[in-house]
Amino acid sequence: MTDFVRKIIPNAKDDVLAGITTSLAMIPEVVAFAFVAQIDPLVALSGAFIIGLITAIFGGRPGLISGAAGAVAVIFVHLISEGHAKGMLFDTPIENMGYFYLLAAVVLMGVFQIGAGLFKLGRFVRLIPHSVMLGFVNGLAIVIFLAQVRMFSHKKLEISAEGVKEYISIPMQGSELYIMLGLVLLTMGIMWVLPKITTKIPAALTAILITTAIVVFGSMDVSTVGSYIIEGGGTGLKGEFPTPNLELWQNLPFNLDTLKFILPYAFLAASVGLIESLMTMNLVDELTETRGNGNRECVAQGAGNIVSGLFGGTGGCGMIGQTVININAGGRGRLSGIMMAVTLLTFILFTDKYIEQVPIAALIGVMFMMVIETFAWSSFRILKKIPKSDAFVLVIVSAVTVIYDLAIAVFVGVIISALVFAWENAKKIRARKRFSEDGKTKTYEIWGPLFFGSILAFNDKFDVKNDPQNVIIDFVESRISDHSALEAIFNLVNKYEAEGKTIKLKHLSEDCKILLYKANPKFREVIVEAINDPRYYLAENPEQFPKSLSEYKF
C-alpha cells in the first residue's frame, strides 16, 4: 500500500485534473451506449464506476480508462431483447428478464477474462502487427466521430401497435443546429488555443466549464446531458451507491438452458473487451513510452466485470476515447483512473443537477478534438512507402472496424497478415546441392523455414529416383516448424528407403530433433547426432581453417 501511494504522488495534480476531465467525457458516451443496449442509463453508469475503479487500482496499465464501452454494449443488445421474450414464456411471466440474463452474462464474461489472464493469453496481443494497430486506431476514430455526428439530433420514443418501443432520431435544424455547431467550435477552439498559452490548466476541462458557463448564464436553450437522458427515456442522473441487490438474481433460473443462452454472448463480449482493452494498452504504451502488463490487465478487467454484474451494472472494457483524453490531459498514473471513477460516482450521487446542465455540444467538441488527435494521419503519408500487403491490411481493418466490429476487424487483420507472412516465407525455402568427390553421396543444404506453406517447394527440390545411393539432407540454415514439415520429411525418408537408398539428416537443432523423435522413433535411425551446432562444424577439421585473411574466398 505504501508503494502504491508513493507511485501516485509525483503526478497527483495532473492525474486528479485529468480524471475529472475524463469523467465528464465519460457520461454522455456511457449514456449513449445504454440507449443502444436498451438498459437504464444508471445501470451503465454504475458499471462504468465499478469497472473503472477496479481496473485503475489492479490493472496492468496505469492511465488506461475503462468503462461501459460501446463495443461490449452492442453484443448484449440481442441478448437483452431475446431475454425479455424468454421471460414472457415462463409459467409465471417475468418482466425485464433480459436484464437478469445480462447480469449473468457479464459475470460469466468476467470469468472468461480472468481465465485469459491466468493462462497468460494477454501476451498474444504482441502478435498484432503495426498495420493492424494503425487500422484499429483509424477505424475507431471514425466510429467515435460518427457517434458524435449522431448527437446532432433529438431522440423520440415511438411505440408501435404491437407495443414495441423504438427510439427514432430527428436531425436538428435552423438556429438550433447553428448554435450547436458554434458551441462545438468554441470548445474545440479553446482546446486548441489554451495549450499554446499554458499547459498548467487542463484544456478539455477548461473548455467544458467555459462553454457550460456561457450556456447557463446566457439562458441558452440547447441540448444538455440532462435533456439527453430524458429524451432517451431516463429520469436523470440521480442514483444510489452501487450495492449487491440479491433480488435481481432471484428471478434468474440457474440451469443448463440459461448457461447455453448466455454462453455465446459472454464469450464474444469477453473477447471483444479484452481485444479493445489490450489494443488500448498498446496505444498508451506508445504514447507514454512505457510498458503495461497484458495478463494483469485481463485479470483486472475480468474482476471488474464480475463485481459489476453482481452489483447490477453492465459489462465494459478499456475505452480508447476516454483513455486518449486522460493521457492528453496529463493523466499517467493509477490515480487518474481512480479519480475518474470517484468523480463519476460523485456526479451521480451529489452533483447530478450541475452535471445535467453541461451542454452536449461541449462534450462533442472534446470528443472531436480527441478524434483528431487519435487518428493516425501519418498513415496517409506512409501508405505508398510500406509493403502493399500492410497498406491493404491497414485499410481493411479501418473499414471493418467502422462497418462491423472491432474484434472482427482485428481478427481479419491478423489473419491476412499471417497469410501474407506465410506466403512470403514459403518462397524462401532453398536447397544447395553438391556431390562428394566419388559421386556416391549427394548433399542437400536446406535454407529457409520448413512449415506448411513451404513443403511443396521443399519436395520439389529432391530427385529421389536419380539421386545416388547415399543422400544427406543438411538443415544447416533451416528449422522444422510444424506437423506438416514432420510429415514431409517422414514421407521423403520413406521414398528414399523404398528406392533402396540411404538417407541421413544432419545439423538439426535440438528442438527440431525433439519434434522428430516424438513424431516417430524411425528418425533415430536417420538423424546424425555427431554434430550438435552447425556453426562450429569446421572445428572437426582444424586444418581447413585459413591461415590468413587472404585465403578467404569472397
- Among the ranges 46-50, 74-78, 541-545, which has the highest mean pLDDT value? 46-50
324 and 473 belong to one structural domain = no
Model confidence pLDDT, tens digit, residues 329-387: 889 889 999 999 999 898 878 877 777 888 888 888 887 887 888 788 888 888 888 89
Where do we find the cell 498498446?
A: 282
| 476 CB neighbour count, 10 Å cutoff | 16
Residue 422 pLDDT > 60, yes or no? yes
Does residue 348 sit within a domain? yes
Residue 395 inside a domain? The answer is: yes
Residues 389 and 434 grouped into a single domain:
no
Residue 202 three-state SS: coil
Which pairing describes strands 165-171 and 153-159: parallel, antiparallel, or unpaired?
Answer: antiparallel
pLDDT value for 536? 41
Confidence tier at 162 by pLDDT (50, 70, 90): low
My answer on whether 355 and 307 are in the same domain is: yes
The predicted pLDDT at position 550 comes to 45
pLDDT digits (tens, 9 = 90+) for 226-267: 787 776 666 666 667 777 767 667 788 888 999 999 999 999
Please report whether residue 74 resides in a domain.
Answer: yes
Task: Indicate if the pLDDT at residue 522 is higher than 70.
Answer: yes
Lowest mean pLDDT among 45-49, 159-163, 396-400: 159-163
The predicted model gives 430-457 an average pLDDT of: 90
What length does the chain have? Answer: 554
Taking 60 as the threshold, does the pLDDT of residue 6 lie above it? Answer: no
Pairing status of strand 470-480 against strand 430-435: unpaired
**Co-location of 193 and 146 in the same domain:** yes
- Shared-domain flag, residues 393 and 469: no
Range scoring the smallest mean pLDDT among 396-400, 473-477, 538-542: 538-542
- Give residue 531's pLDDT band: very low, low, confident or very high (50, 70, 90): low
Q: Answer yes or no: is pLDDT of 2 > 60.
A: no
The SS3 call for residue 483 is helix
Check residue 170 and give its pLDDT. Answer: 82
Distance CA 132, CA 298 (A): 20
Residue 120 in this model has a pLDDT that exceeds 60: yes
What pLDDT, on the 0 to 100 scale, is given for residue 535? Answer: 47
Q: Give the Cα separation of 296 and 311 in Å (integer).
A: 23
Angle between the 12-37 and 334-349 helix axes, to the nearest 10 degrees? Answer: 60
Higher per-residue pLDDT: 537 or 408: 408
Residue 111: which residues within 8 A CB-CB, separation 6 or more? Answer: 266, 302, 306
Residue 164 or residue 431, greater confidence: 431
> Which three cell numbers mark 208?
467544458
Contact predicate 220/214, CB 8 Å: yes
The confidence score (pLDDT) of residue 121 equals 85
* Rounded-to-integer distance, Cα 1 and Cα 379, Å: 43
38: left (phi over 0), alpha (psi -120 to 50) or beta: left
Residues 160 and 255 in one domain: yes
What confidence score (pLDDT) does residue 534 get?
A: 47
Q: Is residue 553 part of a domain?
A: no
Interval 130-150 mean pLDDT: 84
Q: What is the pLDDT of residue 470?
A: 93
Q: Give pLDDT, residue 545.
A: 42
CA distance 31 to 284: 25
Q: What pLDDT, on a 0 to 100 scale, did the predictor assign at position 541?
A: 44
Looking at mean pLDDT, say which of 372-386, 462-476, 530-544 comes out highest.
462-476
Q: Angle at CA 16, nearest 5°, toward 106 and 213? A: 100
299 plus 441 within the same structural domain: no
Cell of 482: 510444424
Task: Look at residue 167 in the predicted model and tell me its pLDDT.
Answer: 61
Instruction: Indicate whether 236 and 145 sit together in one domain.
Output: yes
CA of 46: how far to CAs of 24, 230, 233, 251, in Å?
15, 18, 17, 21
Instruction: Please indicate whether residue 391 or residue 199 has the higher confidence score (pLDDT).
Output: 391
The domain total for the chain is: 2
Residue 464 and residue 346 share a domain? no
Shared domain check, 350 and 232: yes
Give the per-residue pLDDT at 150: 80
* 150-155 average pLDDT score: 78
Last residue of a domain, one of 399, 421, 444: 399
Report yes or no on 121 lying in a domain.
Answer: yes
Does the pLDDT of residue 543 top 50, yes or no? Answer: no
Q: Decide if 421 is inside a domain.
A: no
Which range marks the domain in which residue 189 is found?
A: 12-399
Local structure of 305: helix, strand or coil: helix
Q: Cα–Cα distance between 375 and 36 in angstroms, integer?
A: 25
At residue 459, the 3 state secondary structure works out as: helix
pLDDT number for residue 287: 81
Cα–Cα distances in Å, from 332 out to 287, 329, 336? 10, 9, 7
pTM of the model: 0.70
Give CA separation, 506 vs 7, 171, 365, 499, 529, in Å: 55, 73, 66, 21, 8
Query: Averaged over 386-406, what is the pLDDT?
Result: 88
Asked if 28 contacts 270 with a C-beta cutoff of 8 angstroms, the reply is no
Q: Is the pLDDT score of 13 beyond 80? A: yes
Q: Cell 466485470 maps to which residue?
A: 305
> Over pLDDT 90: what percentage of the chain?
32
Interval 20-38 mean pLDDT = 74
Instruction: Work out the burial of residue 511: count CB atoms within 10 Å of its CB; fewer than 13 is exposed, 13-18 middle, 19 or more buried.
Output: exposed
Evaluate whether residue 269 is within a structural domain. Answer: yes
Q: Which residues pair with 444 in a beta bridge?
A: 433, 473
Same-domain pairing of 172 and 318: yes
**Which residues partner with 158 through β-bridges?**
166
Would residue 129 be called left, alpha or beta, if left means φ above 0 and alpha means ψ between -120 and 50 degrees? beta
Q: Let me know if residue 413 belongs to a domain.
A: no
First to last CA, the chain: 63
List the CATH number of the domain containing 457.
Answer: 3.30.750.24
pLDDT of residue 248: 65
Quote the pLDDT of residue 495. 93
Cα separation of 443 and 445, whole Å? 6
Q: Which residue has the higher pLDDT, 477 or 166?
A: 477
505, 376: one domain: no
**Sequential DSSP letters for 129-198:** -HHHHHHHHHHHHHHHHHHHHTTSEEEEEEE-TT--EEEEEEE--HHHHHHHHHHHHHHHHHHHHHHHH-
